[in-house]
Amino acid sequence: MRNDLGVYTIAEVEDRAGLSSALLRQWERRYGFPRPERSPGGHRLYSETDLEALRHIKQWIAEGVAPAQAVKRYLEGLTQEGPRPPETLSLELEEALLRADTEAAERVLSEAYRLHPMETVVMDVISPCLRRIGDGWHLGRVTTAQEHLSSTYLRGSLQGLLNLMGGSLGPTLVVSTLPGEQHEIGSLITALFLRRAGYTVHYLGPNTPLADLKSFAERTEAKAIVLSAMQPISLETLPHQALRHLAPLVVVGGRAAAGDPRSIERLGAHYLGNDPRELAESLSVALKKAGLW
C-alpha cells in the first residue's frame, strides 16, 4: 500500500499539506528536507511519505515547536525534551478522538509508533485511552457517538497493525470472543500479542458461534482456541462445559472473569487473566504442558 515513489508535484503538495511552494523550497534549501525526486526536467516529485512527514511537521509547528526543530525532530525521531512518554501521547490521543479529529489521532499514533515499541503503544497508549473513554461513557461524560467513533477508529488502527504483521511459523491458534460479547478490541489486542509472540494466528473477529469455531479449528489444525471475554454476561449465558473439546486447548482471557476464574473452569476452559502479554506467556506454558508444542 505504501508508495514511496515521487509522484506529486509541488502544487499538489501545496494543497494537500497546506504549505506554500515557496516554503517547501526554502525548507529544502535550509534544512535539506524534504528532498523529493526530480522529473527529467528538474521538477520536484514528492512521495506519499514526504507528504505525511510534512503534515506532521506542520502540526508540530502549529503546537509551537520552532520549524527548524520540528524538521529535526522528524528526522531524528526525537522531541526537544526527549521522547514524549506514552502517558502524554495517550491523553493526546483521547483528546483528539473526543474532538472527532481522526487526523490528529493519526498523527499522535504515528508519533507513538516511531518513539515506542508496538507493545508499549498498545498497552500504554491505546489501551488506557480506550479505558478512559469507556469510563467517561459510563459516567455520561462521553457521548455514545464519541465512544463509537473512538473505538471504531482504534479498532481499525489495531487491525491494520494485525494485518501488516505477517504470519509466523509457530503453532496455529484461533482467536475470537465469547458469543454475545460486544467488545471486540480485547480479542484484537490478544491476537496482536499472540502473533507477536510467534504464533500463527487466525483472527475471526467477534462473536463466532462455538460450533463454527470448533470446525474451523479442526480444519486449520489449530492447537488452541483463544477467546476474549470482557462482559460477565457472556459467561453466564453459556451452558456447562460449553467450551470443552472445541480444540485441544481452549483458553479465555479478559476482564469478565477477573474476579472469578472458576466461572471459566465451569465452561471447560482455562482462564489466563486480563493482560494480553501474560496471556501469551501462560499459553506457551499450557501448550507445552499439554504436549502440543
Partner DNA sequence: TAAACTTGTACAAACTTTGGACAATTTCCC
Partner DNA sequence: GGGAAATTGTCCAAAGTTTGTACAAGTTTA
The two most distant CA atoms of the chain are separated, in Å, by 74
Q: Does residue 9 interact with DNA by CB under 7 A?
A: yes
Cell of 66: 520552532
3-state helix, strand, coil in the chain (%, to 5): 55, 10, 35
Applying the rule CB under 7 A, the residues between 46 and 65 that interact with DNA are 61
| CB 161, CB 118: distance < 8 Å | yes
42 near DNA, judged by CB under 7 A: yes
From the list 27, 74, 153, 271, which residue makes contact with DNA (rule: CB under 7 A)?
A: 27
Q: Which helix (H) or strand (E) holds 115?
A: helix 102-115
The partner in contact with residue 216, picked from its own copies, DNA, none with C-beta cut-offs of 5 to 8 angstroms by kind, is its own copies
The entry of its own copies, DNA, none near residue 27 (CB within 5 to 8 angstroms by kind) is DNA
Among the listed ranges 108-116, 128-136, 241-249, 285-293, the one in contact with its own copies (CB under 8 A) is 108-116
Of its own copies, DNA, none, which one does residue 160 interact with (CB within 5 to 8 Å by kind)? its own copies
Please, is 136 exposed, middle or buried when counting C-beta atoms within 10 Å of its C-beta (0-12, 13-18, 19+)? middle
In the list DNA, its own copies, none, the entry touching 20 (Cβ below 5 to 8 angstroms by class) is: DNA
Q: Quick check: 174 and 218 in contact, CB under 8 A?
A: no
291 binds its own copies (CB under 8 A): no
21 binds its own copies (CB under 8 A): no
Per the structure block, which three cell numbers stand in for 200?
Answer: 500463527
**Hunting for cell 470472543 — which residue is that?**
177
The residue written with cell numbers 483463544 in the block is: 226
Shortest separation between residue 170's beta carbon and DNA, angstroms: 20
Q: Cβ of residue 3: shortest distance to its own copies, in angstroms?
A: 7
Residue 66 as a binder of its own copies (CB under 8 A): the answer is yes
Q: Give me the least distance between CB of 67 and DNA, in Å please.
A: 4
Residue 134's SS3 state is: helix
Choice between 107 and 273, CB closer to its own copies:
107
Residue 77 beta carbon to DNA: minimum distance, rounded to whole angstroms: 18
Rounded Cα distance between 113 and 116, Å, is 5
CB 133 within 8 A of CB 142: yes
Which one of 55, 132, 183, 270 is in contact with its own copies (CB under 8 A)?
55
CB 130 within 8 A of CB 183: no
Q: C-alpha cell of 108?
A: 499522535
The item of DNA, its own copies, none sharing an interface with residue 277, based on CB under 5 to 8 Å by kind, is none
Distance CA 101, CA 60 (A): 16
In the complex, least distance from residue 46 CB atom to DNA, rounded to whole angstroms = 9
Strand residue runs (E) in the chain: 37-38, 44-45, 172-177, 200-203, 224-228, 249-253, 270-271
Report cis status (omega within 30 of 0) of the bond before 34.
Answer: yes
| Least distance between DNA and beta carbon 89 (Å) | 24
Query: Which residues contact DNA by CB under 7 A?
Result: 9-12, 20-23, 25-27, 29-30, 39-44, 61, 66-69
Query: Which residues contact its own copies by CB under 8 A?
Result: 1, 3, 5-9, 12, 15-16, 39, 45, 55, 60, 64-66, 68-70, 73, 100-103, 106, 109-110, 113-114, 143-146, 148-149, 151-153, 155-157, 159-164, 166-167, 174, 176, 202-205, 207-209, 212-213, 215-216, 220
